[in-house]
């Protein structure tokens, strides 16, 4: 009888232990991530907010120098006649900002600190969450004391705090993140680093440039004196679109003669000057390699094509973008 009594007591104790509300803490370790650096593409100067008109400026030249559509520039500044510009006038180079609407007030909720997150031990009548590594120390609870629920975790625990497995690292491309992933030994991390590196933007912004003409280069790029390259040719030789895009300007501009400007994306424009005949109209879409004009010598002492590539309105050396070819 005594033996049966002891067996019954031990059985009850084991059942009580299994039913205990106490749970072991579950720890999730996360890698602290530095803010993702932007692409390694060359930095481009931010376009200024305004421009003060100088003597000799035209709406078209100002638009070209800032990588803008002259019609948008006229609209932003309420200019009805592009030919009328007074020196000293201040032009807006960006659209006016739309008035901001009042946003509803959002009460900030307490967020756990970055680092190691711990799912708390849940005791009867008490709910509490703590973050390891902080300066706060929990005071020992006195027997019989009632612990009030913490306001920050009154709602259901967030699912991400209950994860116990490792998390896949999907970081934007940057030199720091690339170095971090390459230091990790698992093949999966190295494969993801290679993918991130392959997705890094290139200097040409994805544009596949071709030569606009087949003649030899007369003079190269010089930011101070020549904003592009000059290509030799004969009157009537074809001028080709160096990349696909939309015709932003087709007309005559002082210093350029008969000029075509093509917008390729929000970053790049190309310009084709001194033509004898222009074959495209403003707003027309053109394909890479399409004939858009013919060689000439308008506003030039000799027959040539002056070709420019501009990034955010800033002239850049076309030879850094065009494919190499035999001289």
pLDDT of residue 272: 98
CATH of the domain at 80: 3.10.350.10
77 is a domain residue = yes
CA-nearest of 261, 223, 226 to 242 is 261
SS3 99: coil
Give yes or no: residues 307 and 236 share one domain: yes
67 is a domain residue = yes
CA-nearest of 172, 171, 170 to 39 is 172
Give yes or no: residues 227 and 252 share one domain: yes
| Domain membership of residue 56 as a residue range | 50-92
pLDDT of residue 29: 52
Q: Band of the pLDDT at 21, cuts 50, 70, 90?
A: low
292 is a domain residue = yes
236 is a domain residue = yes
Give yes or no: residues 233 and 179 share one domain: no
- pLDDT, one tens digit per residue, over 104-157 is 555 555 455 555 454 554 444 444 444 434 444 444 444 444 444 444 444 454
104 is a domain residue = no
Distance CA 253, CA 82 (A): 12
pLDDT of residue 160: 47
Return the percentage of the chain with pLDDT > 70, whole number. Answer: 52
Give yes or no: residues 230 and 181 share one domain: no
Give yes or no: residues 175 and 234 share one domain: no
Beta strands in 43-154 (DSSP E): 50-52, 90-92, 116-118
278 is a domain residue = yes
pTM for this one?
0.53
Give yes or no: residues 192 and 285 share one domain: no
- pLDDT, one tens digit per residue, over 275-312 is 999 999 999 999 999 999 999 999 999 999 999 999 98
Give yes or no: residues 177 and 240 share one domain: no
Q: What are phi and psi of 319, to 5 degrees?
A: -65, -15
How many CB atoms are located within 10 Å of the residue 144 CB? 5
Give yes or no: residues 235 and 291 share one domain: yes
CATH of the domain at 274: 2.70.70.10
How many CB atoms are located within 10 Å of the residue 264 CB? 22
Contact 267, 311 (CB under 8 A): yes
- pLDDT, one tens digit per residue, over 1-11 is 666 666 666 66
3-state helix, strand, coil in the chain (%, to 5): 20, 20, 60
205 is a domain residue = no
Helices (H), 258-314: none
Which range has the top average pLDDT, 53-67, 102-116, 171-185, 280-294?
280-294
The token pair at 88 is 């000293």
What is the mean predicted confidence (pLDDT) over 212-223? 92
Number of structural domains found in the chain: 3
Distance CA 266, CA 268 (A): 6
Give yes or no: residues 278 and 246 share one domain: yes
| Cα atoms in the 13 Å half-sphere on the side-chain side of 72 | 13
The token pair at 23 is 């749970």
Distance CA 195, CA 191 (A): 6
Last residue of a domain, one of 73, 92, 111: 92
Contact 290, 298 (CB under 8 A): no
């Amino acid at each position: 009888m005594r033996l049966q009594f002891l067996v019954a007591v031990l059985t009850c104790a084991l059942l009580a232990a299994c039913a205990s509300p106490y749970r072991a803490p579950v720890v999730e370790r996360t890698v602290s991530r530095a803010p993702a650096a932007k692409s390694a593409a060359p930095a481009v100067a931010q376009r200024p907010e305004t421009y003060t008109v100088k003597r000799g400026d035209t709406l078209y030249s100002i638009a070209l120098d800032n990588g803008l559509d002259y019609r948008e520039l006229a609209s932003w500044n309420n200019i009805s006649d592009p030919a009328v510009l007074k020196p000293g006038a201040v032009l807006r180079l960006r659209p006016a900002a739309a008035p901001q609407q009042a946003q509803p007030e959002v009460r900030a909720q307490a967020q756990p600190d970055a680092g190691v997150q711990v799912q708390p031990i849940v005791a009867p009548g008490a709910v509490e969450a703590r973050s390891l590594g902080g300066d706060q120390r929990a005071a020992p609870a006195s027997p019989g004391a009632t612990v009030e629920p913490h306001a920050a975790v009154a709602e259901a625990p967030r699912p991400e705090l209950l994860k116990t497995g490792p998390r896949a690292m999907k970081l934007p491309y940057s030199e720091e993140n690339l170095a971090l992933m390459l230091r990790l030994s698992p093949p999966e991390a190295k494969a993801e680093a290679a993918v991130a590196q392959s997705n890094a933007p290139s200097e040409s912004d994805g544009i596949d440039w071709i030569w606009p003409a087949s003649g030899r280069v007369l003079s190269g790029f010089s930011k101070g004196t020549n904003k592009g390259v000059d290509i030799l040719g004969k009157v009537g030789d074809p001028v080709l679109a160096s990349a696909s895009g939309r015709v932003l300007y087709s007309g005559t501009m002082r210093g350029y003669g008969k000029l075509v400007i093509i917008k390729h994306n929000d970053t790049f424009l190309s310009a084709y000057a001194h033509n004898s005949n222009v074959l495209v109209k403003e707003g027309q879409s053109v394909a890479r390699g399409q004939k858009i004009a013919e060689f000439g010598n308008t506003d030039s002492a000799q027959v040539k094509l002056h070709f420019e590539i501009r990034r955010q309105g800033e002239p850049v050396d076309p030879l850094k973008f065009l494919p190499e070819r035999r001289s």
